[in-house]
Amino acid sequence: MDFISTFTLLVLSSVILSWIWLNKKFNYWKERGVATLPHSSIFGNIKQSIFVQKPISEIVTSIYQSFKSQGAKHGGIYFMWYPIYVAIDVEVIKSIMQVDFQHFVDRGMYYDEKNNPLSAHLFSLAGKKWKLLRHKLTPTFTSGKMKMMFDTLVDCTVGLFKVLDNELDKAVDIKDVLGRFTTDIIGSCAFGIDCNSLENPDNEFKDKTKQLFHRSNFLSFKIALSIVAPKLSRALKIKYISDDVNDFFIRIVEENVAYREKNNIFRKDFMHLLIQLKNRGQLVDDETVSVENISEEENRITLQEIAAQAFIFFEAGFETSATTMTFCLYELSKNKSIQEKLRGEIKKVLAKHDNKLTYDATMDMDYLERIIHETLRKYPPVIRLIRICTEEYKKPESNLIIEKGVRVMIPVYAIHHDPEYYPNPETFDPDRFSEDVKKTRPAFSFLPFGEGPRACIGARFGMMQTKVGLIALLLNYEFSVNEKTEEPLQYDPHSFTLSTKGVLWLNLRRIREKL
């Protein structure tokens, strides 16, 4: 047999074996009697996501609606050839996120403590490492700690007014302004520095944050590789966070901690609490944050852990709160009666608190909370939640066994737009979140912060900074949609979180004299 014939035979054999292997992989759900959908022979059901062709919200909703139309309580899809279990019914979701949480502890996110230390944060850590760190950090997010940071948030509104007062009677890129506002808040509370992004939008801090939320084709490929081949990704030292971003944030933390410790600086922020955990293993006003059978020494956190937690606090809090406020102001601009009703509540509540914006005053604003919840319902920043099966799981009232290592997807955006739970889902209606109406909906049909033990630890802070921003804005300005805003809104396929494609332009008019 000559060389060409041998080569041809090898290629043909490789193709046949690959076809048999892929065919076996793509029969995974069929063999288990789980409903599935037509898919690509190589990329599975989410080729458009891998190549950033459609917004994730559109892809996830299509998958959800396809299974829902079949009457299925769950389904199976493929990320390339990797099987993903899709929870459709809210009772199934409840089992995964809370009742049987011990089988779905991890998010299945790739991280590399050695080569990409910022990636080893609370959101991505797995197993015992996550559990221990969660216990250490939980006391830093109590209502008492939120009150401690409240004045720091309010101080950031001064810069917000300076920027917007220069934009009166003009079209304002509200997403950009609010992104700078939340950058200043998180920079101050998480890193203890004055970013001054509102007055200087081109500073280095703001520049580095832009890199975190852009989903390029190459980054999508790295994510895909880490899902189907995590060991290979670590061997290749794959990084989600670029070296310059990693080095920038670690340097800021190291310099900040060193300066505070040397000069005995006290500041009412998240960084101060992390430094206490580093030096004491507990917070000054807490008896203990230790886990059973863990010594005080083990309960301390390292400087590298401080950097990673400050980083995820920034990453999670900056974009999500900015987009929530952006979408909220857009809806209030289109629904003037709701805007006026909210403004009336703000004035009424502040009058009961000596016209001072305090933590307790924000907690008294029930209609504001309903409006934010309706915004998070219609525009959830996190489009879908991912869990990974950490222990083999037999689904209740079923013969289905979810194997260890299989990923689970919970389609948050699609559930929030399901008319079964939210009639006329495209209508903005804060009354959906009145106490009486909430009682008519099943649990786990509203998931902007997740649920169960791995729910977002910073949800209280996110709500607080969103409330402060909206109160300050609506008390001083009236908003309307500018004609330059393209409607209906389109979502950016390159963004990890739900975000508009292009600029969302609003008009604003000052309705209150400067104090």
Bridge partners of 74?
Answer: 87
Nearest to 471 by CA among 362, 387, 366, 388: 362
The angle subtended at Cα 244 by Cα 239 and Cα 248, nearest 5°, is 115
Give the CA distances from residue 221 to residues 60, 218, 228, 365, 407, in Å, rounded to whole numbers and listed in that order.
Answer: 19, 5, 11, 44, 18
Residues annotated within a binding site: 456
Bridge partners of 481?
Answer: 506
Residues annotated within a binding site for heme: 456
Question: How do the domains of the chain map onto residue ranges?
Answer: 29-510
Domain formed by 29-510, architecture: Orthogonal Bundle (1.10)
pLDDT tens per residue, the chain (515 residues)? 565 676 666 667 666 666 666 667 788 999 999 999 987 777 777 765 555 568 889 999 999 999 999 999 999 999 888 899 999 999 999 999 999 999 999 998 888 888 888 888 899 999 999 998 898 888 888 899 999 999 988 999 999 999 999 888 789 999 999 989 998 998 888 887 888 888 887 777 767 766 666 656 666 667 767 776 677 777 778 887 888 888 888 888 999 999 888 888 888 888 888 898 888 877 766 544 444 445 555 678 888 888 898 888 887 878 899 999 999 999 999 999 999 999 999 999 999 999 999 999 999 999 999 999 999 999 999 999 999 999 999 998 888 999 999 999 999 999 999 999 999 999 999 999 999 999 999 999 999 999 999 999 999 999 999 999 999 999 999 999 999 999 999 998 888 789 998 899 999 999 975 43
